[in-house]
Amino acid sequence: MAVITGAGSGIGKAVAKVFCRQGAIVHLIDLSEGHTAEAMAEIKAEGGKATAHACDVSVQSQVQNVFNKINQLDILVNNAGIAHVGNVENTTEEDLDKVYKVNVKGVYNCLHAAIPIFKKNRGGVVTNLSSIAAIVGLTDRFAYSMSKGAVQAMTLSVARDYLSFNIRCNSISPARIHTPFVDGFITKNYPGKEKEMFEKLSKSQPIGRMGTVEEVANLILYLSSDEASFITGNDYCIDGGFVKLNN
């Protein structure tokens, strides 16, 4: 039984699909069930088993209600998150609070609801979505970088605190992954230059392209599997060489 947040599109949808292909029963969490309609249709077409839940991960009561309904859990993937562009001067208090509520408090809320279930089951696996922004300096990503650094810190804390309960917790740090969000960002900010900017952003990874959502989903699948049973308290970059080779 797996719970995936932000499962309506992009990485979250890819994770839900790859888990279902492996026979998992998957619960898709997103702001509205309408957001997960396409994912649910694709999973159903492939013969998968999934349930969609409307939930704002930044609201603890909503998260707790959903997890109470699910009640059984083996895997949690904390994928839901939002982006923000800005430095410390032009990031408003409202901007910071909005990013914090989803990217930090949202992860906390899901961990807070999931850990008691894992403890009861004497085991479970968490994968949190961080970002290379947590470990390298990126221009105009002040609030976003803050939030993803917090995700890595929470990952370490949970991994340490629940070793005796056979609960593993890791994070992954993607660089640029080709998602509908990236396409929308380019269209909004670079009208008429979409092709040029897509190529420029792709080549910022030393490997020469953006990652795919399927590549990220397959890494999460591995970390969630019994084959990864010796892995906890780690962060894995999936970045086309961005962190180590960009010099």
Burial class, 17, CB count within 10 angstroms (exposed 0-12 / middle 13-18 / buried 19+) = buried
- Residue 14 confidence (pLDDT): 97
Summarize pLDDT for 173-189 with one digit per residue, the tens. 999 999 988 888 788 87
- Res 152 pLDDT > 80: yes
Options 144, 162, 222, 236, the catalytic residue? 144
**For 147-176, what is the mean pLDDT?**
98
Helix, strand or coil, per DSSP, at residue 90: coil
Q: In angstroms, what CA-CA distances link 241 with 3, 176, 177? A: 29, 11, 13
Contact 139, 85 (CB under 8 A): no
Any idea which architecture 2-177+212-245 has in CATH?
3-Layer(aba) Sandwich (3.40)
pLDDT confidence of 162, banded at 50, 70, 90?
very high
Is the confidence at residue 195, as pLDDT, over 70? yes
Looking at residue 41, its pLDDT comes to: 94
Largest Cα–Cα separation, the chain: 55
| Lowest-pLDDT range of 37-41, 85-89, 123-127, 243-247 | 243-247
| β-strand partners of 174 | 238
Which residue in 235, 9, 46 sits closest to 28, CA to CA?
Answer: 9
**What's the rounded Cα separation, in Å, for the pair 78 and 101?**
14
pLDDT at 246 exceeding the cut of 90: no
pTM: 0.95
pLDDT band at 247 (very low <50, low <70, confident <90, very high): low
Model confidence at 169, pLDDT cuts 50, 70, 90, reads very high
pLDDT at 189: 78
- Percent with pLDDT over 90 in the chain: 91
**Least confident residue range of 49-53, 157-161, 193-197:** 193-197
pLDDT digits (tens, 9 = 90+) for 37-75: 999 999 999 999 999 999 999 999 999 999 999 999 999
Predicted pLDDT at 27: 98
Mean pLDDT score of the chain: 95
- What length is written for the chain? 247
Please give the Cα distance from 37 to 170 (Å, whole number). Answer: 29
Known catalytic membership, residue 236: no
